[in-house]
Amino acid sequence: MKQHFLIKKLKVKYWIAVLAYFTNIIGYSQDVDLTNVRIIKLDEAIQLGIQNNNQLKIANTDVAIANENLNQTQIAKSPVIGLNMGYNYIGNPKVFEGFYEKNITVDYFNQQASANIYASMPLYYGGVINNQIDKQKLIVSMQESVAKMTETEIKQTITTQFFTLEKLYKQIEVTKQNIVNTDLRIKQLESRVANGQNLKSDLLRTELQKSNFEVAVFRSSNSIELISNYLDILTGLPTNTKLKPVLDGILIPTKEVSLEESLNEAYQNRFEIKRSEINVKIAESSLDITKSGYKPYVNANLLFNTQYPAQWPDYSNNILNYWAAGVSLNWDISSFYNIKHRANADQQQIDKSNIALDATKDVINQDVKAAYVRFTESVRNITTFKKDVDLALSNYKIVKSRYDNDFALISDIVDAELQLNEAKISLNNANIDAIIQYYSLQYAMGKL
């Protein structure tokens, strides 16, 4: 009997020590501030992200740069117009006989000037100009595709963080209600311990349970702070703005989705495939540009020249003016052997781009299948967790009734309440996860 009393005394001291430890941990977490939050809807968050996200601004700037480069490339079809002018002062002109043996100072003009205006228009460049323009158009399409991909990724990230935030708020709501219930039980236990109806360890265990709930609230509140800050960065809101999502009009998806339809839509909509297809076309365009080097370049030329002193037919104190028009041809014959390897490299780049396109389709195939499985799994989990909540609630009612009539231990009611709390949180998480996985599937299908 004495030994039994000592063991019980040690258990009481153990629970006191544990309670003291958790009290120190949550001493600063009792007053978790979830006020002063900004209410935000999903559509609003996405719109803010599209307007303010820095990564998307960079992508859109790249599109503008690509369009400017396209305009610059198209100028190659325009004529080149130039002006040349020159002036020289001539001093001490001499004519030498032999190899610098004798010289004679001659009477020559001490000033010389010339000017000409020229224009050149490309007539035929072997298709290189058109190929360069086509390639630059493809680069514009590529940058537009990257901008769309960036926008879609931002939407997906905002959506995931938005619903994760909602999940945390729901967890806090459930857990705080448990704290209220636990407080009531602690008051009851204090009275029962004072009357000798329960042991001190029963009270300590209940207080420990409350401490665990408070720690859970504290951790969830910290996660809310972090995710809110991340959403602030994504949407361009002032940092440290605490956000609280509102799910008005957002329902748990129940529509059946076909895997085959999902894959077909992904192949049609995903910008990664479009970007890979553009990469193939860019590689083909580079080969066309390289092959243009085999062909001659033909230009139309126009020249107006003025010169003083006139040097035709002999030197005279007059001004010579003339204009000239004609056609010039430039053909690098050595191109038939010195660009062979460049053409071969371009062909290999085409093959590589086609392989990359197939690899991209494989990745998207895996992404869609994984998203489809996770979505269907999350929808089915809801039914399971609803049943778990019903079972946990029934068990809690039974145990509570037995406890109120002194037929169950405090450990039984604590365990039952913990099971009910976990079941409610699991159901909440399952509901939110189903929505998250639905949007993830939409993203994988290229429809977000």
Range of the domain at 222: 34-78+126-296+333-444
pLDDT greater than 80 at residue 106 = no
148 lies in some domain: yes
Where b means 16+ CB within 10 Å and e means fewer, 189-207 reads: beebbeeeebbebbbbbbb
Give a yes or no: residue 100 inside a domain. Answer: no
Residue 42 falls inside a structural domain: yes
Report CA 260 to chain centroid distance, whole Å: 27
3-state secondary structure 320-350: EEEEEEEEEEECCCCHHHHCHHHHHHHHHHH
Residue 315 has pLDDT above 60, yes or no: no
Residues 6+ apart with CB under 8 A from 353: 276, 279, 280, 282, 283
| Sequence-ordered list of residues with C-beta below 8 angstroms from that of 390, at least 6 positions apart, any chain | none
Check: CB of residue 196 under 8 Å from CB of residue 6.
no
**Domain for residue 131, yes or no?**
yes
Q: Is residue 327 part of a domain?
A: no
Which pLDDT score, from 0 to 100, does residue 13 have? Answer: 41
Instruction: Return the CATH number at 409.
Output: 1.20.1600.10
Model-level pTM? 0.78
Query: Residue 363 to residues 116, 278, 360, 444: CA-CA distances in angstroms?
Result: 62, 18, 5, 10
- Of the pLDDT bands very low, low, confident and very high (cuts 50, 70, 90), residue 29 is very low
Other beta carbons less than 10 A from residue 13's beta carbon: 11
**pLDDT class of 415 with cuts at 50, 70, 90:** confident
Q: What confidence tens digit (pLDDT) does each residue in 114-172 have?
A: 899 999 999 888 888 999 999 999 999 999 999 999 999 999 999 999 999 999 998 89
The reply to whether 101 falls in a domain is no
Supply 372's token pair.
Answer: 């489809």
In a domain, 322, yes or no: no
- Does any domain span residue 150? yes
Strand, helix or coil for residue 112: strand
Percent of the chain residues topping a pLDDT of 90: 46
Angle between helices 271-291 and 128-194 (to 10 degrees): 160
| pLDDT, average across residues 306-325 | 75
* 418-438 average pLDDT score: 88
Helix intervals (H) in 26-127: 42-52, 54-74
**What percentage of the chain has pLDDT greater than the value 70?**
90
Q: What is the pLDDT of residue 311?
A: 66
Q: Which has the higher per-residue pLDDT, 104 or 395?
A: 395
How many independent structural domains does the chain possess?
A: 1
Q: How many CB atoms lie within 10 A of CB 35?
A: 7
* Gap between the Cα atoms of 248 and 170, Å rounded: 15
Note whether 15 and 201 are within 8 A (CB).
yes
More confident residue, 406 or 434: 434
Q: Place 314 in a pLDDT band, splitting at 50, 70 and 90.
A: low
pLDDT value for 207 = 87
pLDDT averaged over every residue in the chain: 85
* Confidence tier at 20 by pLDDT (50, 70, 90): very low
